[in-house]
Structure 1
Amino acid sequence: MDGKITSVDKAVSERMKLFMSHYGYTQAAIADACNVDVSTLSRCMNNKKPWSSKMLQKIGSAFNVAFLWLRDGVGKMVAEEKAIGKAQFAAFSQMLDANSSPVSQNVISGDNYQGTQTINATEGKIAALEQKIEAQAQLLAEKDKLIARQEQEIEFLRGLVSKQQQK
C-alpha cells in the first residue's frame, strides 16, 4: 500500500471514518495516541497519502481495532484479546515489512499483539486506580482524624461555657 492511492487505501479510509464515528474519536486523538503527526493521518484519511501497514498496526494497537478489519475489511472491528510475546510481534512486523502481498498478510494477523497491548494498558490503568484509591483512603483517614479533633475541641468549649454559666 505504499506509493499511489488505490481503492484499498480509499476503503481503509472509509473503515477509519466508520471506526471514528462509532467511538467518537477525532483525528487529533488518534494521532496523539499513535504518536503520529496529525497532518500525516489527515492526508491518509483524505486519500492524499497511502496507508502503511505500520500506521494501521499502531492504530489497531492503541484502540484495540482488528488489523485485518482496518486493512482488508475482514472480520470484526474490535480485535480479539489473545496474548503473544513481543518477540513474536517483532517477527510478525518483519514478515509484514518483508512481504506485502495481501495473501501473505492475511495469513499473518496482528490481532494477537493488539490483545497483549490492551491487557498491558488495562493492567497499568488498574495499578494507577489502586494507587488513587490508596491515596484517597489516606486522605479520608486524615479527614476522620481532623473531625475527631474538632469534636474534642467543641466538647472542651462546651465544658468551658457550661462552667461559666454555672458561676
Structure 2
Amino acid sequence: METKSTTRVLTLMDSVGLSQVKFAEKCGIRPSNFNRALKSEKGISSQYLLRIAHAFNVNFEWLRNGIGDMFAEEKAIGKAQFAAFNQMLDANSSPVSQNVISGDNYQGTQTINATEGKIAALEQKIEAQTQLLAEKDKLIARQEQEIEFLRGLVNKQQQK
C-alpha cells in the first residue's frame, strides 16, 4: 500500500532522475532500508523524510503533508535563477558562475542572500532533529534488549 508521502518521494525521485539506490545513498540511507520504507504500510518515517528534504533541498511540509511547493526556492527566485544558483554551487563558486548570479540575476541574488540565514538555521534544526531521532532509536533498541533479557529470566523461572 502506497502512502501519500511515499507517492511524493517517488515523484521527487522521478524529478531528480535518480535510481532508488542512488537516491537513498544521497540521503545517507541504506538502500535496503529505503526500499523497505517505500513498501511499508506506515509510510516513510519522519527521520527519513527529514534526510530526503535536506539532501535535495525540498520543502519538508510538501514532502510530509503535501503542503506548498516541492521546491520552495523555485517559487522565491524562479526556476532559471534556482538552476543558475545550483550551477554556482556545483562549480565551487567559480567566477563565471558568480557573474551569472550577480550580473543578470541581481534580484535573485538578493533573495538568495536574504534566505541564507534561514536555510542555515533550518539545516541546524534538521541536524539536531536527526541526532535526537538517532538517540531515540538507540534508547528503543536498548529497551528492547532489556525486555528480551527479562523475558529470558521469566522463562527460566517458569521452567524451574
TM-score by length of 2: 0.46
Determine which structure has greater relative contact order: mean sequence separation of CA pairs < 8 Å that are 6+ residues apart, divided by chain length. Answer: 1
Bigger Rg over Cα: 1
Higher helix share: 2
